[in-house]
Structure 1
Amino acid sequence: MPPKAEITKEKLLDTAFKIVREEGLEALTARSIAQRLKCSTQPIYSVYGNMEEVKDDVFNRAVDYALASMKQYHNDKNAPAMNLAIGCLLFARNEKHLFRTLYLSDYRRHYLKRNKDKLKEEMYAAFLLLDKRLSTMAESKAEKMFRKLTTYWLGIGMIINTNTSELDIDEATEMLEEMYQTLTVKEGLA
């Protein structure tokens, strides 16, 4: 009899990530992983103590994947933060289940109670590079402006993700730029 293929942590994580990417976080169970790997659930619990550990690792991988994906968009005419925002919109359109996992799932709140928000930190760092005038603002004002812009782009991302409106990336980009200009005027930066 040939030796059984070893179920490694990496193989489990790859499989779990594929399930979430294709079907969403709610489809991720020990049984769904076992079915894809053609094994029982026992190896999963041998490698991971419980499904929460699997979900944490999948969520971490989804964050890394999202950031890499968002950073791929580049247009020389845009500031780095605008490129990142457009990259976020493209991610919302192209990776429907991962976007929902990262931004719309109940698990996100549970995860963030125990982990830092790496997505938010990266976005905020890029936001501060958007405009040299932002460095002259009080930190609390800059954070408030960032929160407003994030709420706006996330709302647009949800519309794109769920196809609730005929909104293309160019129109969405224009909307983001207009919102940024409105906020800079309101904050006295214009």
Structure 2
Amino acid sequence: MPPVRKFRKEDIIKVAYDIAKEEGFTGINARRIANILGCSVQPIFHNFTSMEELCRVVYDQIYNKYKEYMVNARNSNYKPYKEMGLAYIRFAADYPEFFKAIFMNNTKLSTENLILNDDLGNDVIKAGQELTNLSYEEQKKLHVKVWIFTHGIACLVATKTVEFKENEINKLLEDSIRQMIIGYKHEKGENK
């Protein structure tokens, strides 16, 4: 009798992650993972109580990949606010299925809660404050507008609806942020 091959939890997660990377979460199912691993579904359910649990673990890894992009941009010495917007769009371009899983599913969150659902949102707002000198609350309002614009570009990129060159995105983002800041300050009567 040949030895029974043990499948580590990490092996199962890696296969599910790779499927999500190519096809999104809809491609993840126990039978598919088992076929790729060359086993029955038993090792999957030995390591995870349900497919939902496995998908949560994969989602956490995907979100960590997104955070890696954003943290690297936040730590940039060159215009961190704009760099974080570019990183958001770059993530959508590099990992379209991951981007869709995080930001294009039916989250049922308000815009503010979606933006502020973790420390990254606060970091982006603080980076914006350094640029605008607005209060936290004012910057949060401005950031919602900037984020909606940036999210629109990222969605177009992730769905391959429009193909942008990096320099086009850079210019669009820089010009739009500048104009939104001017408009916001004009609205407040600052006219700077």
TM-score, normalising length: structure 1: 0.82
Q: CA deviation at 1:119?
A: 7.1
Identity fraction in percent: 22
Cα RMSD over matched residues? 2.9
Aligned to 1:150: 147
Instruction: Give the corresponding residue for 1:185.
Output: 182
Runs of 5+ unmatched residues, structure 2: none
1:82 matched to 2:79? The reply is no
1:118-164 Cα distance to aligned partner (Å, 9 max, x none): 87531430331234265541x33222211111111110011112221
| CA deviations over 1:40-95 (Å, ceiling 9, x no partner) | 11221121111111111111100101222444569977311222221221221121
**Matched residue of 2:128: which SS?**
coil
**1:20 matches 2:20:** yes
Residue ranges of structure 1 left out of the alignment (5+ in a row): none
In the alignment, what sits opposite 1:124?
Answer: 122
Task: Give the equivalent residue in structure 2 for 1:61.
Answer: 61
Amino acid at match of 2:89: L
AA aligned to 1:85 is: G
Contact 2:74 2:83 in 1 (8 A): yes
Q: Partners of 1:5 and 1:159 in 2: how far apart?
A: 44
Q: In 2, are the aligned partners of 1:7 and 1:43 still within 8 Å (CA)?
A: yes
Letter aligned with residue 126 of structure 1? V
Residue 130 of structure 1 aligns to a residue whose secondary structure is helix
Could you say if the C-alpha distance between residues 130 and 143 of structure 1 is closer, same or farther in structure 2, counting changes exceeding 3 Å? closer
24-33 or 76-85: which moved more? 76-85
**Where does residue 8 of structure 2 map in the other structure?**
8
Q: Secondary structure at the match of 2:40?
A: coil
Give the drift of 1:165: 2.0
**Residues 105, 76 of structure 1: alpha-carbon distance in 2 compared, 3 angstrom cutoff:** closer
- Report the CA distance between 1:101 and its aligned residue: 1.3
Q: Distance in 1 between the 2:67 and 2:39 partners?
A: 32
**Aligned counterparts of 2:9 and 2:133: Cα–Cα separation in 1:** 43
Aligned residues: 184
- 1:103 partner amino acid: F
Task: State how 1:26-175 maps to structure 2 within 5 Å.
Answer: 26-72=26-72, 78-106=78-106, 109=107, 121-132=119-130, 134=132, 136-137=134-135, 139-175=136-172
SS in 2 for 1:187: helix
